[in-house]
Amino acid sequence: MRLCRACLKRYEAGTIFHFFDMECPLCNTCLRQIDHRVHFRVADGIRCLCLGYYEGKMKDYLIRYKESLDYELRTIFLYPYATLLSLIFAGCLAVWAPSSPARIKERGFDHMEGIASNLNLERCAALTKPDGTEQKEMGRQGRLAISDRITLNPGVDIAGRRILLLDDVVSTGATLAGCHRALLSAGARSIFTICLMDNDEEHSKKHF
Amino acid sequence: MERTEDFTCPRCGNSDPDGIGIGPTGKPYCRICLQYDGREAPAFTPSGQRIQLSLTYPLSPAQRTVSNQVLAAVTKGQPVLIKAVTGAGKTELVYAAMEHFLSRGLAVGFATPRKDVVIELEPRIHEAFPMATITSVYGEHTQVLSADIIVLTTHQLYRYPNYFDLLILDEIDAFPYAGNQVLKHFFRRSVKGVYILLSATPSQTDLEELEKDKGAVITLDIRYHGQPLPVPQIRLYGPFGKLDIIACLRDFLSAGKPCFVFAPTISRVRRLADLLRLFCPGGASVDSQDPDRERKIADFKAGKLSYLVCTAVLERGVTVRDLQVIVADADHPIYDAAALIQIAGRAGRKSGYEDGEVIFFCHREEPWVKEAVSTIEETNHHAAMQSVPKKI
């Protein structure tokens, strides 16, 4: 009997995922909750690959991971794409959209670093953003203002590197644009962007 | 790294290694009670008002006897389980005990597993204690945490460690409280003085736990209006299954009686509602995932809707005048005898309309269906034999 990391229940391995992957973190029921609507989206001029939409059970799990600080959940968000992405982007440097230092201290961990650690790639906490910039309550204007304040950490050398940029949720794309600016000005050769969940207004209008 | 096997959560008492994770610093943490994080209530300060009970309607003689028994027990510090039939007026039974504690400036809480019940209960209790400050605490409604009387869901009990001098827990056998060890732990943690449990259908484990605390069981077999409980009729489906439900529902609606149609799962509720809409206009479906649920229930109570198709969310606490009840697929394994008794207890609650009809539709007569019917018949028999309730 294996233990599901998300619903904490014991289960009998029953899908092809469990057959090939002894470390599969999810049970049969939770595997079905994964949003497989992988699509490209252009947000704020940045083309990013979204692995699903910001809704349903996976949204609840992301909130439980980020807000309730359930650190064990870090493995489920890139599942089952982590292996494939590690192969496709072999040689790239994995960089993630930053949280503010105060927020990281409050949580006790950087939630994006936890998610990026599932990739078998070289990782670097290259970016930082100043304190007092919580995005949730802000409108579009506020978000645009923050994106200018994302900067490269001192002592990080990414000149000529190919970058895989990760973020959890993309709404307006302002953060991603800010990250791109900072990375490009530091001399990154190319940047490919992946978001776990797409919080697109148009999409939510279409469905409700 | 510490071993997860040796770790016990200091908050919820969980020691099951499946529910314990390793945090970022290598320290174990409890994953079961993570969702219960929030502001804890400040220390209790009584409002200083002279609080008195002012009921606008009299208690029935049976209620008065039980009420006095409860008061006598809790003043001695003895926990109580009140086993009263559905529609007996369980809430009124504890008012005397509440008044006793409130007038001494002690903290009183009223907990129940269901949010809908909290919303319905708050104005009722406020009516009975107009001088006391009262607040209701449930998910998304947690602005005010302290008052003389706190009406709350069992999920919010974690905010009140070692707080209540008198804590009343309604519907102990209801989901999600029943069988949830974390909630049970929070309940025990928040009781400082004495507790009262209310139920129509207590389970064996509840009774055993009460035994350990040397609690008293007090029973009340008669409804408020003194009439027996409506006995459910078991009907087997004919060859065209759902047609029987439609025919039955049309009978009720043409007589102008509101009706609940219970179905076992959310998807079945929605399918059945779609079907019934074709034959019987003026209904709606209600389930726990429905964002409009509160509005639909309010509409139904106001008489704007003639019937509701619902899951077990409406099995408790809802009182509607002259209600009829249909259970589609009572033989579905999600029901047990206790749930069916609760559902049957929706009918005939108001005085003046004591004879509601309850119909269980089944494919075959499963044991729990028969058990529910025989339990209700037994209770009615008891009530008829003894006009005054007796302490066991």
The CATH number assigned to the domain holding A188 equals: 3.40.50
How far is the C-alpha of B238 from the C-alpha of B86, rounded, in Å? 31
**Contact assignment for A64 to B34 by CB distance below 8 Å:** yes
Cβ atoms of A124 and A93 within 8 Å: the answer is yes
Instruction: Check residue B1 and give its pLDDT.
Output: 45
Output the furthest CA–CA distance in chain B (Å, rounded). Answer: 70
- A82: distance to nearest CA of chain B, Å? 20
- A145: distance to nearest CA of chain B, Å? 31
- How many C-beta atoms lie closer than 10 Å to residue B388's C-beta? 9
Instruction: Check residue B2 and give its pLDDT.
Output: 52
How far is the C-alpha of B184 from the C-alpha of B172, rounded, in Å? 10
Cβ atoms of B165 and B193 within 8 Å: the answer is yes
Structure tokens at B302: 């106001």
Residue ranges of chain B with pLDDT lower than 50?
1, 389-392
Instruction: Check residue A115 and give its pLDDT.
Output: 94
Closest CA to B360 of B349, B344, B378: B344
Helix H or strand E segment including B73: helix B61-75
Closest-CA residue of chain A to B26:
A71
> What single-letter DSSP state applies at residue B253?
H
Instruction: Check residue A50 and give its pLDDT.
Output: 94
How far is the C-alpha of A183 from the C-alpha of A190, rounded, in Å? 9
Residue with tokens 């490919």: A192
Let me know whether A26 and A76 are in one domain.
no
Task: Supply the ipTM of this predicted assembly.
Answer: 0.83
**Contact assignment for B23 to A114 by CB distance below 8 Å:** no
Q: Is A196 left (phi over 0), alpha (psi -120 to 50) or beta?
A: alpha
- A74: distance to nearest CA of chain B, Å? 11
- A72: distance to nearest CA of chain B, Å? 6
Cβ atoms of B276 and B247 within 8 Å: the answer is no
- Alpha-helical runs (H) found in A38-195: 56-66, 82-88, 101-107, 111-116, 140-147, 174-185
Whether B22 has its CB under 8 Å from any CB of chain A: the answer is yes
Q: Is the peptide bond before B10 cis (omega within 30 degrees of 0)?
A: no
Residue pLDDT, tens place only, B176-186: 888 888 899 99
Q: List the domains of chain B with CATH numbers.
A: 1-34 (no CATH), 61-220 (3.40.50.300), 233-385 (3.40.50.300)
Beta strands A2-3 and A10-11 are antiparallel
Number of H helices, E strands in chain A: 9, 10
Q: State the average pLDDT over residues A186-204.
A: 90
Mean pLDDT of chain B: 87
Let me know whether A54 and A91 are in one domain.
yes
In three-state secondary structure terms, B231 is coil
In the predicted structure, residue A43 carries a pLDDT above the cut 60? yes
- A158: distance to nearest CA of chain B, Å? 27
Let me know whether A23 and A44 are in one domain.
no
- A15: distance to nearest CA of chain B, Å? 21
Closest-CA residue of chain B to A61:
B35
- A109: distance to nearest CA of chain B, Å? 6
Residue pLDDT, tens place only, B47-73: 777 788 888 788 888 888 899 999 999
Let me know whether A170 and A84 are in one domain.
yes
Residue with tokens 């009439």: B227
Let me know whether A8 and A78 are in one domain.
no
Let me know whether A28 and A102 are in one domain.
no
> The domain containing residue A150 runs over which residues?
35-207
How far is the C-alpha of B315 from the C-alpha of B274, rounded, in Å? 21
Whether B24 has its CB under 8 Å from any CB of chain A: the answer is yes
Residue with tokens 């990154």: A188
- B283: distance to nearest CA of chain A, Å? 22
Let me know whether A7 and A91 are in one domain.
no
Whether B29 has its CB under 8 Å from any CB of chain A: the answer is yes
> What single-letter DSSP state applies at residue B217?
E
Which residues of chain B neighbour A8 with C-beta distances below 8 Å? 18-19, 31-32
Let me know whether A95 and A189 are in one domain.
yes
How far is the C-alpha of B362 from the C-alpha of B234, rounded, in Å? 7
Q: What are phi and psi of A48, to 5 degrees?
A: -130, 150
Let me know whether A51 and A111 are in one domain.
yes
Q: Which residue has the higher pLDDT, A14 or A41?
A: A41
Which residues of chain A neighbour B34 with C-beta distances below 8 Å? 64, 68-70
Instruction: Check residue A137 and give its pLDDT.
Output: 63
Interface test with B, best of A71, A111, A208 (most B CBs within 10 A): A71
Let me know whether A130 and A64 are in one domain.
yes
Whether B64 has its CB under 8 Å from any CB of chain A: the answer is no
Instruction: Check residue A117 and give its pLDDT.
Output: 93
Which residues of chain B neighbour A71 with C-beta distances below 8 Å? 21-24, 29
How far is the C-alpha of B20 from the C-alpha of B25, rounded, in Å? 14
Whether B291 has its CB under 8 Å from any CB of chain A: the answer is no
pLDDT > 70 in chain A, percent: 92
How far is the C-alpha of A141 from the C-alpha of A135, rounded, in Å? 11
Angle at B67 between CA B65 and CA B72, to 5 degrees: 95
Q: Is B322 left (phi over 0), alpha (psi -120 to 50) or beta?
A: left
How far is the C-alpha of A115 from the C-alpha of B307, rounded, in Å? 49
Interface test with B, best of A68, A105, A112 (most B CBs within 10 A): A68
**Contact assignment for B23 to A3 by CB distance below 8 Å:** no
Q: Taking the C-alpha atoms of A110, A115, A119 and A123 in order, what is their torsion angle to the nearest 10 degrees?
A: -20
Domain count for chain A: 2
**Contact assignment for A64 to B35 by CB distance below 8 Å:** yes
Angle at A75 between CA B39 and CA A90, to 5 degrees: 140
How far is the C-alpha of B347 from the C-alpha of B280, rounded, in Å? 21
Q: Is the dihedral of CA B8, B9, B14, B17 positive or negative?
A: negative
Closest CA to A177 of A145, A203, A202: A145
Let me know whether A128 and A157 are in one domain.
yes
Q: Which residue has the higher pLDDT, A146 or B23?
A: B23
Closest-CA residue of chain A to B33:
A68
Let me know whether A107 and A144 are in one domain.
yes
Instruction: Check residue A84 and give its pLDDT.
Output: 93
**Contact assignment for B21 to A72 by CB distance below 8 Å:** yes
Buried b / exposed e over B218-242, threshold 16 CB at 10 Å, is bbbbbbbbebbbbebebeebeeeeb
Interface test with A, best of B4, B12, B34 (most A CBs within 10 A): B34
**Contact assignment for A8 to B37 by CB distance below 8 Å:** no
Select from B18, B29, B32 the Cβ nearest to the Cβ of A10. Answer: B18
Residues 6+ positions from B67 with CB-CB distance below 8 Å: B59, B92, B93, B94, B95, B96, B97
**Contact assignment for A71 to B19 by CB distance below 8 Å:** no
Instruction: Check residue B3 and give its pLDDT.
Output: 61
Which residues of chain B neighbour A68 with C-beta distances below 8 Å? 34-35, 37
